């Protein structure tokens, strides 16, 4: 069974961000494989959910982990899954980050740490927070996610502390080509991988109307790629959460629930964390959320005063029922709201830097040959 799970982890993680024909071919091959294996081993469906595994003292999650840097944002996207338009302003304290990640690093080894908000570039001392995270030794890959509007504010110090940057582009925020070119140039100078993802659509996620139908809540949770496939675990105010939504549902829905598990130094923490991250029981927050099965809508900025009104729809009306049923049958890891449009990987950055030398050498060989 362990080998089967490792095999599934490989297959499901194969194409995180399909952009090339090779990746798309990989996705198709994966779906064919899933279908074939389903035929051979009926009842294997549950192993499709990508799970954490234990290696030595550490839990190895399927991908990375989010570190919430700030709660506030300079724009107000409809159905923002961090509730930023209405959650009060908050900045992570570098000393809290150092303490929590220091403890966590003894039992948890994510492949990367995603620095996210709100809008992280609004933090008054972002380099200090990243330095604290780096010094904890939790991982050696740091990815900054930003809407890009304030990119010109990023200092050289900040660029030197990150390995990768992902810019979320929205039509409404209209990032200029000049700003993006300046950011790409700085990414090149600092050897930082650069991705611009365009989001033309969002899927509905939150509702403030509690879903009483236990069977539906169970299905929403089982079909949820955030909790079960992408592994969007997050550290926020000293607690680890299964998904960002569960950090904000209590405040948005006005319910008295504490989700997540407090980071602590006890001898049983690793096992408690593992049990929490791999539990097949829905969270209380799943009664106020439709996970990744929400109806798709065009991306839109809303006035902050109206943002909560958009959460009044009950789950039954927010769900894309075909998608929910499909996700219960086969979980496809692709985020179909996200379109990568510009990308330079770190090795590409290096090869770009060396390109003039390669071209010069090729010219010399060509001239010599003639």
Binding site for ligand SF4 (CB under 6 A): 220-221, 224, 226-227, 242-243, 245-246, 283, 285-286, 289, 291
| Distance of closest approach, residue 233 Cβ to ligand SF4, in angstroms | 11
For residues 306 and 283, give the distance between their C-alpha atoms in angstroms, rounded to a whole number: 27
Place of tokens 């097949």: 280
CB 205 → ligand SF4: shortest distance, Å?
Answer: 7
- DSSP states of 61-105: -SS-EEEE-BS--SS-BTT-TT-TTTSPP-B--HHHHHHHHHHHT
Residue placing its CB nearer to ligand SF4 in the complex, 180 or 286? 286
Burial 340-359 (b: 16+ CB within 10 A, else e): eeeebeeeebeeeeeeeeee
Burial class (CB in 10 A: 0-12, 13-18, 19+), 134: middle
Minimum distance from residue 201 beta carbon to ligand SF4 (Å): 17
Work out whether strand 201-203 and strand 239-241 pair parallel, antiparallel, or are unpaired. Answer: unpaired
Q: What DSSP letter does each residue of 291-351 carry, written as one string?
A: TT-BPEEE--B--HHHHGGGG-S-HHHHB-HHHHHHHHH------TTEEEEEEE-HHHHHH
- Closest to ligand SF4 by CB, 136 or 228: 228
> Minimal distance in Å, beta carbon 259 to ligand SF4?
8
Q: What is the smallest separation between the CB atom of 218 and ligand SF4, expressed in angstroms? A: 10
Least Å distance, CB 217 to ligand SF4, is 8
Within 10 angstroms of residue 47's Cβ, the number of other Cβ atoms is 17
Separation CA 70–CA 145 (nearest Å) = 12
Closest separation in Å from C-beta 307 to ligand SF4: 18
CA distances from 58 to 52, 103, 239 (A): 10, 12, 18
CB of residue 245 to ligand SF4, shortest distance in Å: 4
Of 168 and 292, CB closest to ligand SF4? 292
For tokens 């006005």, the residue is 254
- Nearer Cβ to ligand SF4 (123/287): 287
Which residue lies nearer to ligand SF4 by CB, 91 or 285?
285
The residue among 194 and 248 lying less far from ligand SF4, judged by its C-beta, is 248
Whose Cβ is closer to ligand SF4: residue 72's or residue 242's?
Answer: 242
**Closer CB to ligand SF4, 227 or 240, in the complex:** 227
DSSP letters of 190-219? HT-EEEEEEESEEE--B-SSPP--HHHHHH
């Amino acid at each position: 069974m362990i080998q089967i799970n490792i095999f599934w982890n490989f297959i499901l993680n194969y194409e995180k961000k399909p952009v090339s024909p090779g990746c798309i071919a990989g996705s198709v091959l994966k779906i064919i494989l899933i279908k074939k294996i389903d035929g051979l081993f009926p009842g294997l469906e549950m192993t499709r959910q990508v799970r954490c595994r234990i290696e030595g003292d550490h839990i190895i999650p399927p991908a990375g982990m989010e570190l919430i840097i700030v709660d506030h944002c300079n724009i107000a996207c409809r159905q923002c899954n961090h509730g930023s338009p209405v959650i009060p302003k908050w900045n992570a304290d570098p000393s809290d980050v150092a303490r929590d990640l220091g403890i966590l690093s003894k039992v948890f080894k994510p492949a990367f740490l995603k620095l996210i908000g709100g809008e992280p570039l609004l933090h008054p001392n972002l380099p200090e927070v990243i330095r604290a995270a780096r010094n904890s030794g939790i991982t050696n890959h740091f990815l900054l996610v930003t809407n890009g509007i304030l990119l010109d504010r990023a200092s050289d110090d900040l660029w030197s502390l990150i390995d990768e940057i992902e810019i979320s582009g929205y039509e409404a925020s209209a990032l200029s080509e000049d700003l993006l070119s300046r950011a790409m140039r700085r990414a090149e100078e600092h050897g930082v991988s650069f991705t611009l993802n365009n989001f033309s659509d969002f899927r509905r996620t939150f509702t403030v109307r509690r879903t009483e139908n236990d069977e539906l809540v169970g299905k929403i949770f089982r079909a949820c790629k955030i909790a079960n496939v992408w592994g969007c675990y997050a550290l926020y105010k000293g607690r680890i959460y299964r998904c960002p939504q569960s950090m904000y549902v209590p405040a948005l829905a006005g319910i008295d629930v504490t989700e997540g598990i407090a980071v602590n130094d006890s001898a049983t923490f690793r096992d408690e964390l593992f049990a929490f991250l791999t539990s097949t029981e829905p969270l209380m927050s799943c009664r106020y959320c439709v996970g990744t099965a929400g109806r798709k809508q065009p991306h839109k900025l809303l006035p902050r005063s109206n943002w909560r009104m958009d959460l009044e729809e009950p789950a039954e009306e927010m769900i894309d029922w075909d998608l929910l049923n499909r996700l219960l049958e086969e979980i496809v890891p692709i985020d179909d709201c996200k379109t990568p449009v510009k990308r330079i990987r770190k090795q590409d950055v290096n090869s770009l830097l060396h390109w003039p030398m390669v071209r010069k050498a090729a010219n010399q060989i060509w001239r010599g040959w003639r």
